[in-house]
């Protein structure tokens, strides 16, 4: 087994259900697969600026799916996501898209910070 096949076998690309609590007590449910480098690059390229909010919204539009694997949003929803919803709600959804990735980065940072440093002689 070559290196790429080993990595692919060790990583799940299955969709995961995310549930975001909404102000009225209900939840917004959607499914997402882990973000690939190609998907990240595409969202960055589609963003009209270096604004992280635009990037996050483009990622949301391209990644959030329903239980039938259908996209929940399209580019036409962008103005509504920006202007017709509380920022806190949209930000929760966007942050959950990258939540697992952020958790992995945080865990890696913890591991690095707890390692003992070797002294130079």
Structural domains present in the chain: 13-111 (3.30.2220)
Which residues face 16 on adjacent strands?
32
The span from the first CA to the last CA of the chain, in angstroms, equals: 41
pTM here is 0.75
Check residue 11 and give its pLDDT. 92
Question: Which residue's structure tokens are 């002689």?
Answer: 121
Rounded Cα distance between 70 and 64, Å, is 8
Check residue 109 and give its pLDDT. 47
Rounded Cα distance between 31 and 60, Å, is 11
Q: Which H or E element spans position 18?
A: strand 16-21
Q: Are 32 and 64 in contact (CB under 8 A)?
A: yes
pLDDT digits over 94-114, tens only? 998 876 554 544 454 455 555
pLDDT digits over 18-64, tens only? 999 999 999 999 999 999 999 989 988 988 888 888 989 999 999 99
């Amino acid at each position: 087994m070559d290196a790429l096949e080993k990595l692919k076998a060790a990583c799940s690309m299955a969709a995961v259900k995310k549930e975001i609590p909404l102000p009225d007590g209900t939840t917004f449910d959607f499914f997402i697969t882990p973000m690939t480098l190609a998907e990240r690059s595409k969202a960055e390229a589609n963003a009209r600026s270096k604004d992280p909010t635009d990037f996050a919204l483009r990622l949301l539009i391209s990644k959030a799916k329903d239980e039938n694997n259908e996209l929940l949003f399209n580019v036409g929803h962008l103005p509504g996501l920006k202007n017709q919803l509380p920022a806190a709600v949209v930000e929760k959804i966007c942050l959950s898209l990258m939540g697992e990735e952020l958790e992995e980065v945080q865990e890696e940072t913890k591991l690095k910070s707890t390692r003992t440093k070797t002294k130079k002689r």
